[in-house]
A and B are shown apart, each in its own frame.
Chain A
Amino acid sequence: GAGVSQTPSNKVTEKGKYVELRCDPISGHTALYWYRQSLGQGPEFLIYFQGTGAADDSGLPNDRFFAVRPEGSVSTLKIQRTERGDSAVYLCASSHRVNTEAFFGQGTRLTVV
Protein backbone atom coordinates (compact mmCIF):
# COMPACT_ATOMS: atom_id res chain seq x y z
CA GLY A 1 0.00 0.00 0.00
CA ALA A 2 0.94 3.62 -0.36
CA GLY A 3 0.72 4.59 3.29
CA VAL A 4 1.24 3.25 6.79
CA SER A 5 -1.32 0.56 7.49
CA GLN A 6 -2.50 -0.38 10.97
CA THR A 7 -4.66 -3.35 11.89
CA PRO A 8 -7.13 -3.77 13.36
CA SER A 9 -8.70 -0.34 13.10
CA ASN A 10 -10.71 -1.05 16.23
CA LYS A 11 -10.14 -3.53 19.03
CA VAL A 12 -12.33 -4.15 22.05
CA THR A 13 -10.90 -6.41 24.71
CA GLU A 14 -11.67 -7.37 28.25
CA LYS A 15 -9.57 -6.19 31.16
CA GLY A 16 -6.73 -8.59 31.79
CA LYS A 17 -6.51 -9.91 28.22
CA TYR A 18 -3.52 -9.79 25.89
CA VAL A 19 -3.64 -7.77 22.65
CA GLU A 20 -1.45 -7.31 19.63
CA LEU A 21 -1.56 -4.29 17.36
CA ARG A 22 0.06 -4.45 13.94
CA CYS A 23 1.78 -1.78 11.87
CA ASP A 24 2.84 -2.09 8.22
CA PRO A 25 5.16 0.81 7.43
CA ILE A 26 5.73 2.36 4.04
CA SER A 27 7.99 0.09 2.03
CA GLY A 28 11.64 1.01 2.38
CA HIS A 29 11.20 3.07 5.53
CA THR A 30 13.86 2.11 8.05
CA ALA A 31 12.47 3.97 11.06
CA LEU A 32 9.18 3.08 12.73
CA TYR A 33 7.48 4.79 15.65
CA TRP A 34 4.64 3.99 18.03
CA TYR A 35 2.60 6.68 19.76
CA ARG A 36 -0.46 6.56 22.01
CA GLN A 37 -3.18 9.20 21.88
CA SER A 38 -5.73 9.47 24.65
CA LEU A 39 -8.98 11.33 24.10
CA GLY A 40 -8.45 15.06 23.86
CA GLN A 41 -4.68 14.79 24.14
CA GLY A 42 -1.74 14.95 21.80
CA PRO A 43 0.07 11.78 20.81
CA GLU A 44 2.55 10.47 23.35
CA PHE A 45 5.76 8.77 22.22
CA LEU A 46 6.16 5.11 23.13
CA ILE A 47 9.02 3.57 21.18
CA TYR A 48 10.92 3.79 17.93
CA PHE A 49 12.84 1.29 15.84
CA GLN A 50 15.76 1.81 13.55
CA GLY A 51 15.72 -1.34 11.44
CA THR A 52 15.05 -4.33 13.67
CA GLY A 53 16.27 -2.83 16.91
CA ALA A 54 14.45 -0.64 19.38
CA ALA A 55 16.51 2.55 19.35
CA ASP A 56 14.51 4.25 22.08
CA ASP A 57 11.82 2.61 24.23
CA SER A 58 11.76 5.27 26.92
CA GLY A 59 8.08 6.03 26.38
CA LEU A 60 6.74 2.56 27.15
CA PRO A 61 4.70 3.10 30.32
CA ASN A 62 5.53 -0.20 32.05
CA ASP A 63 6.62 -3.76 31.40
CA ARG A 64 3.17 -4.81 30.19
CA PHE A 65 4.00 -3.05 26.92
CA PHE A 66 6.40 -4.56 24.42
CA ALA A 67 7.05 -4.05 20.72
CA VAL A 68 8.95 -6.00 18.11
CA ARG A 69 10.06 -5.52 14.52
CA PRO A 70 11.81 -8.82 13.74
CA GLU A 71 12.50 -8.29 10.03
CA GLY A 72 12.82 -4.54 9.98
CA SER A 73 9.45 -3.99 8.37
CA VAL A 74 6.18 -4.92 10.11
CA SER A 75 5.99 -4.10 13.80
CA THR A 76 3.73 -5.46 16.51
CA LEU A 77 2.88 -3.65 19.73
CA LYS A 78 1.96 -6.13 22.44
CA ILE A 79 0.08 -5.29 25.61
CA GLN A 80 -0.26 -7.86 28.37
CA ARG A 81 -2.86 -7.87 31.15
CA THR A 82 -4.69 -4.92 29.64
CA GLU A 83 -6.17 -2.30 31.93
CA ARG A 84 -8.97 0.18 31.30
CA GLY A 85 -6.38 2.97 31.34
CA ASP A 86 -4.77 1.45 28.25
CA SER A 87 -7.79 2.52 26.20
CA ALA A 88 -6.53 4.96 23.56
CA VAL A 89 -5.72 5.28 19.89
CA TYR A 90 -2.37 3.70 19.11
CA LEU A 91 -0.63 5.42 16.21
CA CYS A 92 2.19 4.07 14.14
CA ALA A 93 4.45 6.15 11.89
CA SER A 94 7.38 5.44 9.62
CA SER A 95 10.09 7.50 7.99
CA HIS A 96 12.66 6.76 5.31
CA ARG A 97 15.43 7.65 7.73
CA VAL A 98 15.42 8.82 11.34
CA ASN A 99 15.78 12.46 10.32
CA THR A 100 13.19 12.58 7.53
CA GLU A 101 9.47 13.29 7.59
CA ALA A 102 7.33 10.75 9.42
CA PHE A 103 4.09 9.46 7.90
CA PHE A 104 1.38 8.31 10.29
CA GLY A 105 -1.22 5.60 9.96
CA GLN A 106 -4.85 6.04 10.92
CA GLY A 107 -4.36 4.28 14.22
CA THR A 108 -5.89 1.42 16.14
CA ARG A 109 -8.56 2.39 18.62
CA LEU A 110 -8.18 0.11 21.62
CA THR A 111 -11.00 -0.10 24.13
CA VAL A 112 -10.53 -2.12 27.30
CA VAL A 113 -13.82 -2.97 29.02
Chain B
Amino acid sequence: AQKVTQAQTEISVVEKEDVTLDCVYETRDTTYYLFWYKQPPSGELVFLIRRNSFDEQNEISGRYSWNFQKSTSSFNFTITASQVVDSAVYFCALSEAQEDGGATNKLIFGTGTLLAVQP
Protein backbone atom coordinates (compact mmCIF):
# COMPACT_ATOMS: atom_id res chain seq x y z
CA ALA B 1 0.00 0.00 0.00
CA GLN B 2 1.08 3.55 -0.60
CA LYS B 3 1.57 5.91 2.30
CA VAL B 4 3.07 9.32 3.02
CA THR B 5 4.27 10.29 6.48
CA GLN B 6 4.93 13.84 7.60
CA ALA B 7 6.03 13.38 11.18
CA GLN B 8 6.32 17.10 11.95
CA THR B 9 2.86 18.36 12.82
CA GLU B 10 3.89 21.95 13.50
CA ILE B 11 7.10 23.92 13.13
CA SER B 12 7.68 27.45 14.32
CA VAL B 13 10.68 29.48 13.17
CA VAL B 14 11.74 33.07 13.24
CA GLU B 15 11.99 34.96 9.98
CA LYS B 16 15.25 34.40 8.06
CA GLU B 17 15.83 31.00 9.61
CA ASP B 18 16.16 27.98 7.34
CA VAL B 19 13.63 25.22 7.85
CA THR B 20 13.35 21.65 6.53
CA LEU B 21 10.06 19.81 6.23
CA ASP B 22 10.37 16.04 6.27
CA CYS B 23 8.50 13.58 4.08
CA VAL B 24 8.81 9.80 4.09
CA TYR B 25 6.86 7.66 1.66
CA GLU B 26 6.04 4.00 1.13
CA THR B 27 5.25 2.36 -2.18
CA ARG B 28 5.87 -0.93 -3.94
CA ASP B 29 5.82 0.70 -7.36
CA THR B 30 9.08 1.22 -9.21
CA THR B 31 7.68 4.22 -11.06
CA TYR B 32 5.94 6.85 -9.00
CA TYR B 33 5.73 10.59 -8.52
CA LEU B 34 6.28 12.81 -5.50
CA PHE B 35 4.76 16.24 -4.94
CA TRP B 36 4.80 19.13 -2.54
CA TYR B 37 1.82 21.48 -2.15
CA LYS B 38 1.37 24.61 -0.05
CA GLN B 39 -1.99 25.36 1.57
CA PRO B 40 -2.23 28.95 2.83
CA PRO B 41 -5.06 30.03 5.15
CA SER B 42 -7.24 30.79 2.12
CA GLY B 43 -7.52 27.05 1.56
CA GLU B 44 -6.51 26.38 -2.01
CA LEU B 45 -3.62 24.01 -2.58
CA VAL B 46 -0.72 25.53 -4.49
CA PHE B 47 1.51 23.21 -6.49
CA LEU B 48 5.21 23.55 -5.69
CA ILE B 49 7.00 20.62 -7.32
CA ARG B 50 6.62 17.18 -8.90
CA ARG B 51 9.46 14.67 -9.25
CA ASN B 52 9.45 11.21 -10.76
CA SER B 53 11.10 8.25 -9.11
CA PHE B 54 13.90 8.07 -11.66
CA ASP B 55 15.10 11.61 -11.12
CA GLU B 56 16.99 11.84 -7.85
CA GLN B 57 18.66 15.12 -8.62
CA ASN B 58 18.07 17.75 -5.99
CA GLU B 59 16.17 20.77 -7.18
CA ILE B 60 16.43 24.40 -6.22
CA SER B 61 13.89 27.08 -7.03
CA GLY B 62 14.69 30.41 -5.44
CA ARG B 63 14.54 29.95 -1.67
CA TYR B 64 13.04 26.47 -2.04
CA SER B 65 15.01 23.26 -2.43
CA TRP B 66 14.11 19.60 -2.44
CA ASN B 67 16.19 16.57 -1.48
CA PHE B 68 14.98 13.26 -2.92
CA GLN B 69 16.66 10.12 -1.57
CA LYS B 70 15.29 6.79 -2.73
CA SER B 71 17.57 4.91 -0.33
CA THR B 72 15.66 6.36 2.62
CA SER B 73 12.34 6.88 0.80
CA SER B 74 12.43 10.55 1.65
CA PHE B 75 11.58 13.73 -0.21
CA ASN B 76 12.42 16.62 2.09
CA PHE B 77 11.71 20.27 1.45
CA THR B 78 13.89 23.15 2.67
CA ILE B 79 13.00 26.81 2.77
CA THR B 80 16.02 29.07 3.05
CA ALA B 81 15.74 32.44 4.77
CA SER B 82 12.09 31.90 5.66
CA GLN B 83 9.60 34.74 5.40
CA VAL B 84 6.27 35.40 7.10
CA VAL B 85 4.52 34.75 3.79
CA ASP B 86 5.82 31.18 3.92
CA SER B 87 3.45 30.48 6.81
CA ALA B 88 1.08 27.75 5.63
CA VAL B 89 0.40 24.03 5.80
CA TYR B 90 2.71 22.08 3.52
CA PHE B 91 1.69 18.71 2.12
CA CYS B 92 3.82 16.01 0.61
CA ALA B 93 2.04 13.63 -1.75
CA LEU B 94 2.64 10.49 -3.77
CA SER B 95 1.03 9.13 -6.91
CA GLU B 96 1.41 5.96 -8.89
CA ALA B 97 2.28 6.20 -12.54
CA GLN B 98 -0.05 5.55 -15.46
CA GLU B 99 0.53 2.43 -17.57
CA ASP B 100 2.71 4.47 -19.92
CA GLY B 101 4.76 5.76 -16.99
CA GLY B 102 3.22 9.20 -17.05
CA ALA B 103 2.15 11.08 -13.96
CA THR B 104 -1.35 11.30 -12.57
CA ASN B 105 -3.01 13.65 -10.14
CA LYS B 106 -4.59 10.87 -8.11
CA LEU B 107 -2.59 11.77 -5.05
CA ILE B 108 -2.03 10.25 -1.64
CA PHE B 109 -1.33 13.08 0.76
CA GLY B 110 0.45 13.15 4.07
CA THR B 111 -1.18 14.84 7.04
CA GLY B 112 0.72 18.06 6.45
CA THR B 113 3.12 20.24 8.41
CA LEU B 114 1.95 23.59 9.71
CA LEU B 115 4.79 26.09 9.33
CA ALA B 116 4.57 29.30 11.32
CA VAL B 117 7.15 31.93 10.52
CA GLN B 118 7.33 34.60 13.20
CA PRO B 119 8.48 38.11 12.33
Contacts and interface: CB of A to CB of B under 8 A. Distances in A.
13 contacts: A31-B105, A42-B93, A42-B109, A42-B111, A45-B107, A45-B108, A48-B105, A48-B106, A89-B43, A102-B47, A106-B44, A107-B43, A107-B44
Nearest to A98: B104
Contacts, number: 56
Interface of B: 4, 37, 42-47, 50, 91, 93, 98, 102-112
A95 interface: yes
A75 to B, nearest CB: 14
Interface residues of A, number: 26
B105 A105 contact: no
Interface of A: 3-4, 31, 33, 35, 40-45, 48, 56, 89, 91, 93, 95, 98-99, 101-107
A42 B44 contact: no
A101 B44 contact: no
Nearest to B37: A104
Given A40-B111, A42-B110, A42-B111, A98 B43 contact: no
Contacts of B91: 42-43
